[in-house]
């Protein structure tokens, strides 16, 4: 028996957010005091899934909902997402599908869209799942720049410049992971205009839609797109504090004639994988239609923590940050650093701070960034900023 070779399509699959955990484990097992600012999971910190969501799942299990359910999702979950889509201004939802996390909705939407060699415009920096999936699909991710000098807004001229006959869609992540930027309406409208001109589908990842700071408003891309085809992604992971519940969704909107075939393909892919967790889908209606108080509490905590992180960064030479306005990340820039991967490993070895190198998300050439999560309590953020300051001063 010879060793089993891995498929070439897995070569490009990388996920820096979890990759740094390997190095952190080694330091932690050697007894080092670690400060984890790397993982976008609120439950690892002092946030808890709202009890009414957990109760809804327990009630669903106790009611015997442990058989398969419709592939697109339970009627109750689909209806709750339809109502939520309307509240977001999406008036022409054509197909709604409930999935194992937003991750599966993204995977299904890309698989239904892309043939080998097709191109997808993805934001840089942006959430790395998209490029990881493209490698699996033998399709090509083409990175368009978010402009750090313009509060990380998408550079629409860059998008237009990068379109080729192989381009199939444009991905927008709003609010963005890792920058924490909210895309402004004028930019959304320009992206829609480019998509219309070139016949491109829009994919709008809005998993952080309710996590906006400083009274900023987040506008759903599809609500501005009228009949233009858009797939909007959402889920309970972030705004409803349930990442491990693994419940997300996709909403295909736009003129029926334009999206029918594509939505049919999505439906076939859904049916081939049977369904998402049946009892966990009870979280959807409970989340979208139940009490929303936890969001107010969360935004209050995130605002204080974001401000503490910003104050810490501002006091250190050699690092600067565009203040995040949404989600729960900050993406500071390192000045005079060439290799952010090495910087992250050196920082971890010297201080125990665990964060993700900017290159794991994409960044403009000749720049180096870090991604911090804004989730830890103030004392952890303060300790991390003190250790970071000492480390930077020694370099
Ligand atoms: C922008 C973005 N989209 C999607 C996901 C994945 O969401 P889920 O946990 O629902 O699969 C994440 C998780 O961090 C994310 O940041």
Can you give the pLDDT at residue 14? 73
Q: Is the CB of 126 inside a 6 Å radius of any atom of ligand 1?
A: no
Convert the pLDDT of each residue in 177-225 to its tens digit: 999 999 999 999 999 999 999 999 999 999 999 999 999 999 999 999 9
How many angstroms separate the CA atoms of 233 and 119, rounded?
Answer: 20
34 and 72 share one domain: no
Last residue of a domain, one of 255, 289, 323: 289
pLDDT tens sequence across 231-264: 999 999 999 999 999 999 999 999 999 999 999 9
pLDDT at residue 379 greater than cutoff 90: yes
> Do residues 307 and 261 share a domain?
no
Mean pLDDT score, 273-300: 98
Reply yes or no on whether the pLDDT at 15 is more than 90: no
Q: Ligand 1 centre and the CA of 300: distance in Å?
A: 22
The pLDDT confidence band at residue 20, using thresholds 50, 70 and 90, is confident
Tens of pLDDT, residue by residue over 299-334, are 999 999 999 999 999 999 999 999 999 999 999 999
Q: In whole angstroms, what is the distance from residue 248 CA to residue 243 CA?
A: 9
Mean pLDDT of 374-390: 98
* Structural domain ending residue among the three candidates 248, 265, 289: 289
Q: What CATH number is associated with residue 161?
A: 3.40.640.10
Q: Encoding tokens for residue 167? A: 């381009």
59 within a domain of the structure (yes/no): no
What atom in ligand 1 is closest to the CA of residue 105? 11
Residue 356 is encoded by which pair of tokens? Answer: 């993700």
**Band of residue 12 on the pLDDT scale cut at 50, 70, 90:** confident
How do residues 122-156 score in pLDDT, each as one tens digit?
999 999 999 999 989 999 999 999 999 999 999 99
- Quick check: is 17 in a domain? yes
User: 10 Å Cβ neighbour count for 304?
Assistant: 14
Cα–Cα distance between 303 and 321 in angstroms, integer?
A: 15
One domain, residues 170 and 261:
yes
Task: State how far the Cα of 279 lies from the Cα of 246, in Å rounded to an integer.
Answer: 11
Cis peptide before 87 (omega within 30 of 0): no
**Could you tell me if residue 53 is inside a domain?**
no
Per residue in 287-303, pLDDT (tens digit) is 999 999 999 999 999 99
In this prediction, residue 53 carries a pLDDT of 98
Q: Return the CATH number at 389.
A: 3.90.1150.10
CA distances for 59 relative to 65, 211, 280, 369, angstroms: 9, 28, 10, 45
| pLDDT recorded at residue 326 | 98
Are 284 and 327 part of one and the same domain?
no
For residue 61, is it within any domain?
no
Give distance in angstroms: CA of 207 to centre of ligand 1.
6
Specify the ligand 1 atom closest to the Cα of 173.
1
Residues 283 and 364 in one domain: no
Helices (H) and strands (E) in the chain, counts: 13, 15
Q: pLDDT at residue 10 above 90?
A: no
Query: Is residue 221 in a domain?
Result: yes
Whether residue 336 sits in one domain with residue 233: no
* Helices marked H in 114-168: 129-136, 156-162
Structural domain ending residue among the three candidates 289, 323, 339: 289
Mutate to test the pocket of ligand 1, among 103, 108, 374 (most ligand atoms within 8 A of CB): 103
Q: Which residues contact 161 (CB under 8 A, 6 or more apart)?
A: none
Domain tally, the chain: 2
How much of the chain exceeds pLDDT 70, in percent? 99
Considering the domain boundaries, does residue 57 fall inside one?
no
Which segments of the chain does DSSP mark as H helices, in order? 16-29, 51-62, 75-87, 101-113, 129-136, 156-162, 185-197, 221-224, 256-272, 282-289, 293-314, 340-351, 378-394
Does residue 18 register a pLDDT over 80?
no
User: Are residues 275 and 301 located together in one domain of the fold?
Assistant: no
Q: Which domain holds residue 371?
A: 8-48+293-394
From the CA of 368, how far away is ligand 1's center (Å)? Answer: 23
Same structural domain for residues 250 and 193?
A: yes
Between the CA of 313 and the centroid of ligand 1 the distance, in Å, is 26
Q: Do 153 and 259 have their domain in common?
A: yes
φ/ψ (deg, to 5) at 107: -60, -45
Q: How many CB atoms lie within 10 A of CB 87?
A: 10
d(CA 278, CA 192): 35
- For residues 58-80, average pLDDT: 98
> Is 2 inside any structural domain?
no
Q: Both 155 and 43 in a single domain?
A: no
* Global pTM exceeds 0.85: yes
Nearest alpha carbon, ligand 1 atom 16: 177
What per-residue confidence (pLDDT) applies to 11? 80
Q: What's the maximum distance between 2 C-alpha atoms anywhere in the chain?
A: 62
Same domain assignment for residues 326 and 285:
no
28 lies in a domain? yes
Residue 60's pLDDT band (cuts 50, 70, 90)? very high
What is the pLDDT of the chain when averaged over all its residues? 96
- Please give the pLDDT value at position 19: 74
Gap between the Cα atoms of 110 and 139, Å rounded: 10
226 & 273 share domain: yes
Q: How far, in Å, CA of 21 to CA of 200, rounded? A: 37
103 CA from centroid of ligand 1 (Å)? 6
């Amino acid at each position: 028996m010879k060793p089993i070779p891995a498929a070439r399509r897995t070569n490009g699959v990388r996920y820096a957010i979890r990759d740094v955990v390997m190095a952190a484990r080694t330091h932690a097992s050697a007894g080092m005091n670690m400060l984890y600012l790397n993982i976008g999971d609120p439950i690892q910190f002092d946030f808890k899934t709202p009890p009414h969501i957990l109760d809804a799942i327990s009630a669903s299990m106790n009611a015997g909902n442990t058989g398969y359910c419709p592939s697109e999702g339970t009627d109750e979950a689909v209806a709750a997402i339809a109502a939520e889509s309307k509240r977001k201004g999406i008036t022409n939802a054509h197909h709604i599908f409930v999935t194992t996390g937003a991750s599966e909705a993204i995977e299904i939407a890309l698989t239904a869209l892309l043939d080998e060699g097709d191109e997808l415009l993805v934001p840089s920096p942006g959430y790395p799942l998209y490029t990881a999936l493209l490698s699996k699909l033998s399709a090509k991710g083409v990175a368009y720049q978010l402009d750090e000098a313009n509060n990380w807004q998408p550079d629409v001229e860059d998008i237009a410049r990068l379109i080729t006959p192989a381009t199939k869609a444009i991905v927008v992540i709003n609010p963005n992971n890792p920058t924490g930027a909210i895309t402004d309406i004028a930019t959304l409208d320009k992206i829609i205009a480019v998509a219309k001109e070139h016949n491109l589908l829009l994919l709008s990842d809005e998993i952080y839609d309710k996590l906006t700071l400083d009274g900023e408003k987040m506008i759903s891309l599809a609500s501005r797109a009228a009949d233009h085809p858009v797939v909007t992604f959402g889920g309970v992971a972030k705004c409803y504090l349930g990442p491990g519940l693994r419940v997300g969704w996709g909403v295909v909107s736009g003129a029926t004639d334009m999206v029918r075939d594509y939505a049919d393909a999505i439906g076939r892919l859904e049916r081939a994988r049977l369904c998402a967790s049946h009892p966990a889908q009870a979280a959807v209606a409970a989340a979208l239609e139940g009490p929303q108080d936890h969001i107010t509490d969360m935004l209050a905590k995130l605002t204080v923590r974001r401000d503490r992180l910003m104050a810490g960064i501002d006091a250190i030479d050699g690092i600067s940050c565009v203040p995040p306005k949404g989600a729960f990340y900050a993406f500071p820039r390192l000045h005079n650093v060439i290799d952010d991967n090495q910087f992250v490993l050196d920082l971890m070895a010297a201080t125990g701070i665990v964060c993700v190198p900017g290159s794991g998300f994409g960044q403009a050439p000749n720049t180096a960034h870090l991604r911090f999560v804004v989730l830890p309590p103030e004392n952890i953020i303060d300790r991390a900023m003190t250790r970071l300051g000492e480390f930077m001063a020694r370099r």
